[in-house]
Amino acid sequence: MDILRLRIRSMRLLALAMGMLGLLARSATAAPVFEDCPRQIGELEVKLVGGPIGWSAYSPERLPLLAAGFMAGPPATKTELKPDSTKQHRGGAVSIWKFDPEFILKPGGLWLSCAYGREGELTLSKKISDGFAECTVTYGPRRAGKDRDIRVTCK
């Protein structure tokens, strides 16, 4: 009798553990993946498309991250999205974008745009995962001689 109860109890615990593993696996795969802007770009060679034939371009110095934002579709569309709100705080700022789920599913999707240099001389853009309802760009205070801390988060 005791052995039977022990086996039933063990089977219940095993079933519970397997159910929990299934939930964890589903939640891990369901979460959209987000990658923040690189903090800086080192020396690099740039491919010119439609530029003068025979010319090459490069940046001889590192370019710090200047700003971040979002685009509706790839860079060629030039459709930069304005934040829903921006608030100044402690010498920095926080900008928030809120996205309609129907918008995210449109062709081209949502793109992260990262501007580099003193005045945004170079921009890197990357399509981000579908499923984000809100993204925030947090700008730290400006400090003489140091790159500004800029963080992008999406949820």
Instruction: Over range 67-85, report the average pLDDT.
Output: 92
Task: Please tell me whether the overall predicted TM-score, pTM, comes out greater than 0.85 for this model.
Answer: no
Domain holding 138, by residue range, is 36-154
The CA distances from residue 106 to 3, 79, 99, 131, in Å, are: 59, 13, 12, 12
- Say which residue the tokens 């790159």 belong to: 147
10 Å Cβ neighbour count for 128? 20
Residue 13 lies in a domain: no
Question: Three-state DSSP class for 30?
Answer: helix
pLDDT single digits (tens) 40-56:
888 777 777 888 888 88
Spatial contact of 36 and 151, defined as CB atoms under 8 Å apart:
yes
pLDDT tens per residue across span 83-128: 999 999 888 999 999 988 776 657 788 899 999 998 998 899 999 8
Structurally, the chain folds into a number of domains equal to 1
Under 8 Å between Cβ of 132 and 103: no
Domain assignment of residue 143, yes or no: yes
